[in-house]
């Protein structure tokens, strides 16, 4: 159990006034709980998945990218045509696409979706994975390249006359005017937790993203990125995106039973994948985001109201892997704790992917939105966080450790 905080009705100064929801899109029914041996797209499933996100009230969906994944641009274009409102976030590694071509593809997606495109720039967290597609730059250089890439993207979208560029990584002549986005430049997000990621993200990104971390640690990281943004003379700070893998059930106790069952299955899947899984993660991840997640998992299994790190520990923190465990009310309250620290984009994706996307849309999103609406209407916090204490109350800790060896 952690010390119970005081839930003052005053809205914290650091709180984000709005929150929008993201969920990563899955292309087929294979999950970490129940792996189905297929690498392909199950079109019927994918259609259902993205429509469920839209119906569930999500705002964005991330189309991830890896050397063995489907192409995120092509999938994003399909999302655009299968939905009316959901905004596709294309994960893009600069090494895969020349920046003026990247700008052209993103502007095309933005036009095809009437202004819904977002790009998430991935500088690359593993040298071995980068080498699979011919990228041999060390990580700090990859981030320097991302920085130059952002400049070229924005100029390609906004310059009214042809321009030339002669930078450290890219050189071209007489490009433009490029194909323009629908109404405004496409928002640019940065993923990564290394010093270089902070530097580029703080100076240039519209959005800076994290995997779920303990509240105080996340707040210091937000201050760090904001400090860099201010030092760069920015008046608009990057929006903060934080990602979780919630495990919910009707009560906290039932959610914990599910969590223990899930972590055993996820661990078995990861172990069964053996060297295939390690091919993408390695024994010791090189990306700082995963290193941080593993360090938190080593320090404690449980943090704050509902953050659980065991799911990260059993998967070597490959990708977003920290959970929020509890009833919909407890998980919504935990999400609000992050909103209070400054997160305005919350990504949630479960282990039972499609069923969880539907459940969050039904039971979690409305609670968070109701609290935000209450705050707007009254200028005060509502009672959700004070009433659903999760780990700040004694019984939650007992459920969390029940069934443990």
Interacting residues with ligand FMN (CB under 6 A): 64-66, 91, 122-125, 191-194, 197, 209-211, 243, 287-289
Minimum distance of ligand FMN from residue 119's CB (angstroms): 11
Nearer to ligand FMN, 122 or 389 (CB): 122
Least gap, CB of 192 to ligand FMN (angstroms) = 3
**Choice between 288 and 295, CB closer to ligand FMN:** 288
Q: Among 66, 44, 195, 209, which residue's Cα sits nearest to residue 133? A: 66
- Least distance to ligand FMN from the beta carbon of 61, Å? 12
Nearer to ligand FMN, 207 or 384 (CB): 207
- Integer angstrom CA distances of residue 6 from 10, 219, 304, 385: 11, 18, 13, 10
Instruction: Please give the angle made by the CA atoms of 31, 287 and 335, to the nearest 5 degrees.
Output: 60
Whether the bond into 177 is cis, omega within 30 of 0: yes
Considering the complex, state which of residue 143 and residue 392 has its C-beta at the smaller distance from ligand FMN.
143
Among residues 180 and 288, whose Cβ is nearest to ligand FMN? 288
Residue closer to ligand FMN, measured from CB, 322 or 391? 322
Shortest distance, CB of residue 357 to ligand FMN, whole angstroms? Answer: 17
Q: Are 339 and 15 in contact (CB under 8 A)?
A: yes
Task: Report d(CA 130, CA 126) in Å as an integer.
Answer: 6
CA-to-CA dists, residue 223 to 215, 333, 343, 349, angstroms? 12, 22, 12, 26
Q: Looking at beta carbons, which residue is closest to ligand FMN?
A: 125
* Nearest residue to 337 (alpha-carbon basis) of 236, 245, 237, 219: 219
Question: Could you please report the per-residue DSSP string of 60-77?
Answer: EEEE---TTSPPHHHHHH
In this complex, which beta carbon is closest to ligand FMN, that of residue 176 or of residue 289? 289
Give me the least distance between CB of 74 and ligand FMN, in Å please. 15
Closest contact distance (angstroms) between CB of 240 and ligand FMN is 11
Q: 69 vs 13, 38, 43, 341, CA distance in Å?
A: 41, 12, 15, 34
Between 249 and 277, CB nearer to ligand FMN: 277
Instruction: State how far the Cα of 321 lies from the Cα of 262, in Å rounded to an integer.
Output: 12
What crossing angle do the helices spanning 99-112 and 139-158 adopt, rounded to 10°? Answer: 50
In the complex, the smallest distance separating the C-beta of residue 42 from ligand FMN, rounded to whole angstroms, is 20
Shortest Å distance, C-beta 333 to ligand FMN: 22
| DSSP collapsed to 3 states, 331-348 | HHHHHHHHHHCCCCEEEE
């Amino acid at each position: 159990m952690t010390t119970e905080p005081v839930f003052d009705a005053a809205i914290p100064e650091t709180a984000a006034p709005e929150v929008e929801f993201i969920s990563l899109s899955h292309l087929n029914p294979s999950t970490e709980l129940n792996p189905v041996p297929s690498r392909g797209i199950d079109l019927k499933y994918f259609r259902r998945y993205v429509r469920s996100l839209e119906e569930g009230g999500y705002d964005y969906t991330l189309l991830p990218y890896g050397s063995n994944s489907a192409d995120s641009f092509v999938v994003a274009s399909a999302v655009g045509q299968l939905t009316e409102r959901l905004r596709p976030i294309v994960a893009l590694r600069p090494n895969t696409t020349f920046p003026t071509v990247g700008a052209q593809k993103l502007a095309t997606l933005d036009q095809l979706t009437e202004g819904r495109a977002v790009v998430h720039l991935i500088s690359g967290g593993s040298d071995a994975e980068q080498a699979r597609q011919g990228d041999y730059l060390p990580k700090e250089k990859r981030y320097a390249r991302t920085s130059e890439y952002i400049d070229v993207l924005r100029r390609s979208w906004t310059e009214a006359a042809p321009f030339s560029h002669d930078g450290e990584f890219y050189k071209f002549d007489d490009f433009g005017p490029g194909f323009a986005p629908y109404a405004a430049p496409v928002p640019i997000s940065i993923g990564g937790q290394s010093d270089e990621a902070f530097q580029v993200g703080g100076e240039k990104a519209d959005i800076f993203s994290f995997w779920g971390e303990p509240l105080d640690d996340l707040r210091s990281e937000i201050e760090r990125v904001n400090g860099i943004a201010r030092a760069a003379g920015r008046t608009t700070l990057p929006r903060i995106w934080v990602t979780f893998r919630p495990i919910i059930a009707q009560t906290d106790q039932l959610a914990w039973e599910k969590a223990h069952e899930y972590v055993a299955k996820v661990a078995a899947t990861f172990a069964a994948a053996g060297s295939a899984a390690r091919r993408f993660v390695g024994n010791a991840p090189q990306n700082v985001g995963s290193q941080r997640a593993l360090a938190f998992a080593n320090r404690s299994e449980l943090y704050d109201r509902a953050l659980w790190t065991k799911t990260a520990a059993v998967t070597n923190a490959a990708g977003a892997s920290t959970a929020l465990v509890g009833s919909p009310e407890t998980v919504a309250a935990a999400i609000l704790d992050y909103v209070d620290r400054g997160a305005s984009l919350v990504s949630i994706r479960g282990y039972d992917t499609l069923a969880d996307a539907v459940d969050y849309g039904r039971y979690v999103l409305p609670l968070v939105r109701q609290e935000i609406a209450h705050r707007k209407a009254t200028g005060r916090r509502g009672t959700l966080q004070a009433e659903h204490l999760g780990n700040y109350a004694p019984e939650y800790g007992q459920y969390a450790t029940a069934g443990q060896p």
